[in-house]
């Protein structure tokens, strides 16, 4: 853990994205200030910055909390996410700078390495950063804040995707890596149509993974436990 304002800012972002801090969880500015060696004023500055980016809510007379997720949040997320991702993708092709493409490739290699080693935390953070960079490539002051808010919930809803428990999920992760490679190649070629096609393929993969988390298969009832005969007789 790093001390100071930058440490608090980065740690809160990471903990929110990885669900170490639950949606709607209260944030205690006093205890955070003590932990990071900060007075209340810089803690509140960090809170305001994170609120502006969509990570937390600040409520009058009630303090700060992690941004909630509820049925309305999820409905809005699934409704608009593919539209915003596609628009960002088109603009990224049109406006990206060479340095941003280098950063995207570097982030992809860290994501690939985290995937190969099973580093769930690394996968969450590098995947989030990969899509943040595509947002930065778009250079659009209206869409970037919307993308940032989407990516927060995308990470939170789908965080279990990065902890695969079977071969099917591992194959899905590998497909996500391949999609990222495809984004890089298509952006480099200024191939707008391919980027948009990949956006929808990648979104469908993510949507399926998030649905598995939100609506898992029901648990089967345990097998009937053997009951002593005398108890059975009493119950009849």
Burial class (CB in 10 A: 0-12, 13-18, 19+), 232: exposed
Query: Which tokens in the block code for residue 183?
Result: 């984004």
Per-residue pLDDT of 137-155, as tens digits, reads: 999 999 999 999 999 999 9
Mean pLDDT over all residues of the chain? 89
pLDDT of residue 21: 95
**Domain 4-66: assigned CATH number:** 1.10.10.10
What is the pTM (predicted TM-score) of this model?
0.84
pLDDT of residue 47: 96
71-214: in CATH 3.40.50.150? no
Alpha-carbon torsion (121, 113, 7, 73), positive or negative: negative
Where in the chain is CATH 1.20.120.530? Answer: 71-214
**Cα angle value 87/93/95 (rounded, 5°):** 95
Per-residue pLDDT of 100-133, as tens digits, reads: 999 999 999 999 999 999 898 899 999 999 999 9
- Distance separating alpha carbons of residues 56 and 182, to the nearest angstrom: 33
Q: Give Cα separations from 154 to 30, 106, 213 (angstroms).
A: 30, 22, 12
The series of mean pLDDT values per 10 residues for the chain, 236 residues long, is 84 94 94 94 95 93 90 88 96 98 98 93 93 98 95 84 73 94 98 97 88 68 55 51
Where in the chain is CATH 1.10.10.10? Answer: 4-66
- Distance separating alpha carbons of residues 229 and 22, to the nearest angstrom: 47
Phi, psi for residue 27 in degrees, rounded to 5: -115, 125
- The length of the chain in residues reads 236
């Amino acid at each position: 853990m790093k001390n100071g304002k930058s440490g608090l800012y980065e740690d809160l972002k990471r903990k929110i994205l990885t669900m170490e801090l639950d949606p709607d969880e209260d944030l205690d500015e006093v205890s955070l200030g003590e932990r990071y060696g900060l007075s209340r004023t810089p803690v509140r500055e960090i809170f305001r910055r994170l609120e502006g980016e969509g990570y937390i809510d600040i409520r009058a007379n009630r303090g700060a909390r992690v941004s909630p997720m509820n049925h309305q949040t999820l409905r809005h997320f699934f409704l608009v996410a593919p539209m915003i991702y596609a628009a960002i993708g088109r603009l990224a092709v049109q406006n990206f700078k060479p340095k941003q493409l280098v950063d995207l490739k570097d982030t992809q290699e860290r994501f690939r390495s985290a995937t190969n080693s099973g580093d769930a935390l690394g996968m969450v953070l590098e995947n989030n950063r990969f899509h943040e960079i595509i947002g930065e490539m778009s250079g659009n002051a209206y869409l970037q804040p919307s993308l940032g808010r989407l990516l927060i919930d995308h990470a939170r809803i789908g965080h279990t995707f990065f902890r695969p428990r079977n071969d099917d999920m591992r194959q899905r992760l590998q497909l996500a890596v391949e999609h990222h490679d495809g984004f890089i190649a298509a952006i480099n070629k200024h191939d707008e149509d391919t980027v948009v096609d990949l956006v929808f393929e990648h979104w469908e993969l993510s949507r399926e993974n998030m649905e598995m988390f939100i609506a898992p298969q029901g648990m089967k009832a345990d097998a009937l436990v053997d009951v002593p005969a005398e108890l059975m007789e009493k119950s009849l």
